[in-house]
Amino acid sequence: MNSIPFLSSARLLIPLLLASSLAACSLGGAPAVEVLDGSTLVIELGGTYVEAPAPSVLGRLTGDETEPFLGLLSMFTRAERDDRIANVVIRIEPLGLGWGKADEVRAAILRLRAAGRRTVAHIEIQGFSANKELYVASAADEIFVTPGSTLPLVGLAAEYIFLGGLWDKLGVDFDVAKAGRYKSAVEVYTEKGMSEDARAMADSLLDDTYERFVAALADGRELSVAEVEAAIDTGAVRNQQLESLGLIDGESHLDELLSRLDAPILWPGDYASVDPEQIGFDAEIEIALIYGTGAVVQGGDSGSFLSGESVFASATISRAIVGAAEDPNIAAIILRIDSPGGSALASEIIWRAISRAKEAGKPVIVSMSDVAASGGYYVASAADVIVADPGTLTGSIGVFAIRPVLGGLFDKLDIGIESVTRGRHADFLLSGEKLSPAALARLQTSVSDTYQLFLSRVADGRNMKIEDVNAVGQGRVWTGAQALEVGLVDELGGIYTAARRAKMAIGLDPETDVFLVPYPRPATFQEQVFDALSSASASALQPNFELPEPLGELAHWARVLPTGSPLLVPPMMIEIR
């Protein structure tokens, strides 16, 4: 099985990535890269990064440009351990990261500085928002901006979309049952604006994120919080303004910046091929790394590696967890979650798999990425230790069920609908009319029972009383920093911290190097080819267009989750930018 070298807790991990994959495919090896003393390493940071293993050889050959987040982090940690590197220039283009991943990149830059590397952020962006880019860059020793770039510093904002009025016009109504006063996901469909509870939660999330954003800029730029807040309120949009306020060090093109450093230059594609043993990597212990990415759904992961869409599939992930627990070569399990939740039943199935792994004596550490909320938190609550980034969105301990009523739409379209039932309560199964009070009560009972199970699972896993879980539950979403305060997570940090906790759980010195072994096992080349052919056939039958957001997100949830069933999904479209 392929494995990923994982350095000591002071020096994160080194995935072998594409260089070793291409060698395995006998495509020929690249000449060895010589790293000279005093070199400058350029790390390119931009676009979207996924919580998933590196693409397969076939995937790369067929154009899969997916960038694993751990692949990005590995570049930082190679440089952190490699004393031949004197300078690290982080070239930052527009980022598709959430605040959780941004926290981890920022922490990686700070570790580079602590290791004695000179770090320089170089920002190339032109747009209406550059908050996350500036947040990440603020960890560096210096920040330069390409002439012509724009980094408007105007504050943070969160925008929520409500479709209740649209559905009214279309004649669509909904039957709703929920447990949790903050469980406001249904408001997206049924209302035209925020409830008071939803607004209070949104304000709390934005306040926490804004405070951490300001504090990071103040710390990184050696300014006071008051000075940063005043700078934000000036609404600076010109680079010269940002420089005068002390938020950047000036303008420069990348080639000019590299020339001034006057050192041998290493590009990431070359540096990734450096043998880890050259920088002292030495490991024997294996820890399983399992990804829980996307909506929590029941069954297996039927998606292709070519499809570009991941799901947190209960059967696939459960098999991986149990398989890792039964593998005598695996000492512990890290479950990396980047999921807003989904099916209540699928969450329970994965929760049980984690419990079985613990019963088998394998410590399970959850590492939360951008989001691990609702069903994602349900799963996490079974772990021995939960680690979250400060900006992770988590919690949302609540349940809802929503059932569209299409009779009004049928009337508008002049579509006739008739129903024939057997059994006193069979109207529960119809979609043309609102549920009767008795049927709606049954739906609410199902949701309430699921909520009580959710509370008990969290109480057991977190060693809390059910009433205490209920007090911090009610569907409320917390940032990772807030979740630590209310007892829903154990420590703040990223995969770096989770690995340290895993090593401590098995009695290792936190500085020990270990291997991360991906579970489930990578597909064989034959399986990849078969999957590619199957995907090509299926994609030929799919419409080739994308809906604009937020309709695209709503369509995604409608596709992967059953309506009318208890769902564990947080308020949708939470994005602070």
Q: Are strands 250-251 and 265-266 parallel, antiparallel or unpaired?
A: unpaired
Which residue reads 């989750």 in tokens?
561
Task: Give the three-class secondary structure for 30.
Answer: coil
User: What pairs with residue 92 in β-bridges?
Assistant: 45, 123
Phi-psi label, residue 263: left if phi above 0, alpha if psi -120 to 50, beta otherwise: beta
Torsion over CA of 452, 455, 461 and 462, rounded to 10 degrees?
A: -160
Biggest CA–CA distance in the chain, Å, is 83
Question: Of the candidates 344, 345, 387, 348, which has an alpha carbon nearest to the alpha carbon of residue 364?
Answer: 387
Q: Evaluate the CA torsion angle 105, 88, 36, 24 in order and state its sign.
A: positive
Q: How far apart are CA 258 and CA 92, in angstroms?
A: 15
Are 312 and 296 within 8 A, CB to CB?
yes
Alpha helices in 187-310 (DSSP H): 187-190, 196-221, 225-234, 239-244, 254-261, 268-271
Question: Of the candidates 34, 36, 72, which has an alpha carbon nearest to the alpha carbon of residue 52?
Answer: 72
The active-site residue out of 374, 396, 431, 539 is 374
Three-class HEC string of 111-131: HHHHCCCEEEEEECCECCCCH
- The 3-state DSSP composition of the chain as helix, strand, coil percent (nearest 5) reads 40, 20, 40
Which residue reads 């399990």 in tokens?
333
Q: Is 21 an active-site residue?
A: no
The catalytic residues are 374
